[in-house]
Structure 1
Amino acid sequence: MGVWQFLTGGVKYTPESLPANLVSPFSTNSLQEAITVDFWQEIPATVITPELALRVPEVKRALQAHTSLVAPLKFEVFKDGEKLTTQPYWVSNSSVFGVSPYVRQVGMVKDLFLFGQCLLGATVNEDDTVNDFLHIPRSLWDHNGEGGFEVNESIPLKFRQRLIWVPLGSNGLLVDGIDSVRQARKLELARQARLDAPPAATELHITDPQKDEMTREEKAALVKSYVENRAKHSVSVTPSSIEVIERGTTGQLDLFEAGMNSLRLQLANHSGVPASFIEGAKEGGNGGQMSYTNENNKASELWVFGSSAYALAIASRLSMDDVVGEGAEVRADLSLLGPAPVAVLDPEPSEITE
């Protein structure tokens, strides 16, 4: 198997390779559904895999926001309050071919966002500190129910010797936000079905009971004749036995959009991003519309209530003794974000108009 396949979790499970009992510390069977769905001929509407969840534009947008803030961060080692002059190899390098620390952290943020946890495989130095990391995609490992992990053999053996489990401290989107993601998928599928088979915008209603027995061919000819005439002229002439009813479909499409706008607000809350960031506040100018005029406040809110949780989870876990040794800690270099993110929101509230 190629390097890229196991880095991205592109492993095709077979029935024989499936674990008999999938266990999660957060009591969710989302991973089990994601795996076993491959063996069903049709995907039930209630099953949401990570791939399907990321087809929801709002979910994808939220993940991209957190990734763009956290993945570029440089996590450095400090001891006694001072940054080490010589940093560990993993801080800025990786022995995995073509995989940078940035790509490693992209995978970590994705798993933390979706599952609330991620796993790293590590190689160690002579002093038992970590030398190098490899992010192991969520589809390639599972809890064994005994406090350990089962890791797919596609991961190189040297990275299976020490496993670093990084918990977010809360459930991921595929647990807490699964209902909203399901609704978004169902609404999108219903909208697509409506677009593929829209209701008739014009109805030729036959008022003469004697013509109720018209054959399919006769009805088709009548419709064709009416359509061809309307395409050429702005005025149509119909016999007394036919009533033209213009129904239109705009209202039905607006109903889908209104439903999606409501779901965007839910997805924003579950994803830890400002509602306006995923355009969740636009509802055609009614009372639910909000306008954030202070972009700095919006960026601050994204960091404080969203992205910072992923950076802190990573830094806190990497600060433990089995990674950097006793007395050391890992901090994220926030200067890479440009203006330093504030610890609290600006005391001056954003202007919100209704």
Structure 2
Amino acid sequence: MKAILFEAPGSDPIFTDVELAKPQSSEVEVTITAAGVCHSDLHVVSGDWDIATPVVLGHEGSGIVSALGPGVTDLSIGDHVVLSWVPSCGTCRYCLAGRPAQCSLVASVVAPLGVLHDGTSRLSKDGRTLHHYLGVSSFAERVVVPVSGAIRVRMDAPLDVLALVGCAVATGVGAVTKTANVQPGSTVAVIGCGGVGLSCVQGARLAGVSRIIAVDIMPEKLELALRLGATDAIDSSSTDAVAALTEMVPEGLDYVFDAIGKISTTEQAIAALGLGGSAVIVGLPPTGQHARFDPLALAEADQRILGSNYGSVVPQRDIPWLVDLYLSGDLDLDSLVSARRPLSEAPAALVDLAAGHALRHLLVPSI
């Protein structure tokens, strides 16, 4: 099949032929309908994160089940699925506690080693073993994933757009509604209005907050944030974000979501809080970076810093819920799609994403 292969830091991703083995026990093969291009893929290509290579990129996607491994009974060939980049084991202490986003098997084996649950890969090229990215590798015509990483969804939803639910939308909406449990009437700011940040904006709207302030350096992204539910917008390319937020909400904000993950934006999120406020770190920075804050001020103001991995969602429960919200008109996915491109254009899509002009480009193998 065709796929996007990243050989090693310092190289460029390439569109090439790779081999995909049949699904093994408790695995399924999925023919990809669409894959979203995300900053997490960009972090890998930029060398910000140390992952196992060579690797087939991509972790956000949707498709149709095309083959079943031994023992699979809860999915059928032809099912429409959204892929989850936390294919939880279901048996570790975190899974049993209802927190599959913290699955210890994913954290210790799947993500760092670039393999599936049994510690092996289904991907190869010319006899060389290739690695899976976050148990998915959706920049390909087909994938083999653990059955827990393929979430069955309604057949009446446009499957290409649903790719976004697997990462950006679950992460952003979940950060608001699950991680932070934002309460109605609260004041919220979202720093960064890419796919995840705009999903945070929509999550805040769904939560019934009184004010949503969007912060970004791109006017077109701020305009979209206002259409999706933000009440105010700050162009931080020409003003200090914290000063502008303080002017708008002098008592400080109840919640600030850092949807970028730079040290500067994390520090801005903390600095803009009011009494009892929570800064929620949603965007992911390069490995090894450290933010600074005043712990005394944090304690005296009874403030909190919350990390949000995958929006604290339970994929099997929350991905179908998000699809329902989309079909009911309460959640806008279509506005998050900047373009649909053939799989071969993934390297160019990553360049566009790095330039800050794109929201979500969908890679569609059938184009």
Normalising by structure 1, what TM-score? 0.24
Whichever structure has more helix as a proportion of its residues is: 1
Structure with the larger RCO, 1 or 2 (CA within 8 Å, 6+ apart): 1
Normalising by structure 2, what TM-score? 0.24
Structure number, greater radius of gyration: 1
Whichever structure has more strand as a proportion of its residues is: 2
